[in-house]
């Protein structure tokens, strides 16, 4: 049993290493894009740098695979997840990344000599893992936008009281505030400077950042531009409202923390007990791993455990 645990740890470590390697490349690519966007260099220098820096073999292989799926129509859900997560990956690149992750996992299973019946499970895990990580990145980005919005509203209100116009205040936010709100507001200013109506620009902003607090602010600003009034006072009022809403959300997280911990303990307790019996008394727990009836019982236990975890998550999730 100790060997099985070591193999599983190696498998998990290799999967995490592959994901971190590709993630580092994506972050570097995003940083190079921002540098060329805000600090444009002469064309000759850029051409020389591009000639010197040639992509590695793995990156070229990754881009070649993504070109195969260039004309494939992906679901709007996948495109929405990438957009809301702030990822620079295209849908075909993300799909190629998921395929490479699944292939890496299955190669690791074959290299370690694990049973063949684990191959479908390994493929599914390798294919789902990048999407799960992208959803977690999206969730953290939206939560961070709610916290940044309080400071952004205060900055805009103070700037407008100091004599700035509304667009100048938004431009200041784009320069001073980090991701996600800073670059998004800067994009709004640039799109508005190209002549796109402000209503369409704000609608696209809400689509890229589907945050309830940000949507309320956008609706209030658009209504104020039509009806008139003191925009600085409106921004300060919304700042206080959103600050109270965020405080309530933090209190709810504190109150539901015990329920979340209970859900993980109840879910992991059977797993821990099974590992303990497998290591301490192999003969007693052996039939569960070797007999088809034991496999069926373990499958039913896993499904029941997962359903119970989902029910607990539904109970402790409170919409505000």
Q: What is the pLDDT of residue 267?
A: 87
Q: What is the pLDDT of residue 48?
A: 44
**In order of start, what are the domains of the chain with their CATH numbers?**
1-137 (no CATH), 143-249 (1.20.81.30), 256-320 (no CATH)
* Nearest-angstrom CA–CA distance, 312 and 320: 18
**What is the CA angle 224-204-70, rounded to 5?**
175
Q: What is the pLDDT of residue 259?
A: 82
Q: What is the pLDDT of residue 44?
A: 39
3-state secondary structure of 75: coil
Report the candidate in 174, 142, 140 with the shortest Cα–Cα distance to residue 155.
174
Q: How far is CA 312 from CA 54, 225, 306, 316, in A?
A: 51, 45, 10, 6
Q: How far is CA 30 from CA 23, 88, 140, in A?
A: 11, 7, 18
Q: What is the pLDDT of residue 75?
A: 84
* Nearest-angstrom CA–CA distance, 98 and 101: 5
Q: What is the pLDDT of residue 188?
A: 92
Q: What is the mean pLDDT of each run of 10 residues along the chain (320 residues)?
A: 58 59 66 60 42 67 81 86 88 90 86 73 88 91 90 93 92 91 92 90 91 90 87 91 87 83 87 84 82 87 88 78
Q: What is the pLDDT of residue 17?
A: 57
Q: What is the pLDDT of residue 49?
A: 43
List own/partner pairs for 142-146 with CB under 8 A and 24 or more apart: 142/84, 142/209, 142/210, 142/211, 144/180, 145/180, 145/181, 145/209, 145/211, 145/213, 145/214, 146/211, 146/213, 146/214, 146/242, 146/246, 146/249
- Buried b / exposed e over 277-290, threshold 16 CB at 10 Å, is ebeeeeeebeebee
Q: What is the pLDDT of residue 45?
A: 39
The torsion angle over the Cα atoms of residues 43, 44, 48 and 50, rounded to 10 degrees, is 10
Taking the whole predicted model, whether its pTM rises above 0.85 is answered as: no
Q: What is the pLDDT of residue 248?
A: 87
Q: What is the pLDDT of residue 278?
A: 80
Q: What is the pLDDT of residue 46?
A: 41
């Amino acid at each position: 049993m100790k060997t099985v645990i070591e193999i599983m740890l190696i498998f998990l470590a290799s999967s995490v290493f592959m994901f971190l390697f590709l993630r580092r490349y994506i972050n570097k690519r995003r940083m190079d894009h921002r540098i060329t966007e805000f600090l444009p260099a002469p064309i000759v220098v850029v051409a020389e740098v591009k000639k010197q820096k040639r992509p590695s073999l793995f990156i070229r292989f990754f881009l070649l695979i993504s070109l195969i799926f260039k004309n494939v129509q992906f679901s709007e859900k996948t495109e929405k997840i990438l957009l809301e997560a702030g990822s620079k990956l295209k849908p075909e690149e993300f799909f190629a990344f998921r395929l490479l992750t699944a292939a890496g996992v299955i190669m690791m299973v074959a290299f370690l000599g694990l049973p063949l019946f684990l191959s479908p499970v390994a493929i599914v895990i390798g294919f789902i893992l990048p999407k799960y990580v992208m959803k977690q990145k999206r969730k953290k980005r939206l939560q961070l936008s709610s916290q940044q919005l309080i400071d952004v509203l205060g900055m805009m209100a103070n700037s407008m009281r100091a004599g700035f116009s509304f667009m100048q205040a938004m431009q200041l936010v784009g320069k001073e505030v980090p991701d996600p709100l800073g670059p998004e507001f800067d994009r709004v200013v640039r799109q508005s400077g190209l002549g796109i109506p402000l209503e369409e620009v704000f609608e696209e902003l809400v689509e890229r950042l589907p945050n309830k607090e940000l949507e309320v602010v956008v609706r209030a600003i658009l209504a104020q531009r039509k009806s008139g009034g003191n925009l600085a006072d409106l921004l300060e009022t919304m700042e206080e409202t959103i600050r109270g809403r965020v405080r309530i959300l933090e209190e709810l997280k504190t109150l539901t923390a015990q329920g979340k911990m209970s859900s993980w303990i109840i879910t992991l307790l059977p797993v821990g007990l099974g590992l303990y019996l497998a290591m301490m008394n192999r003969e007693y727990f052996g039939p569960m791993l070797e007999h088809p009836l034991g496999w069926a019982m373990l499958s039913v236990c896993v499904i029941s455990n997962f359903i119970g975890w989902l029910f607990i998550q539904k109970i402790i999730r409170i919409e505000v």
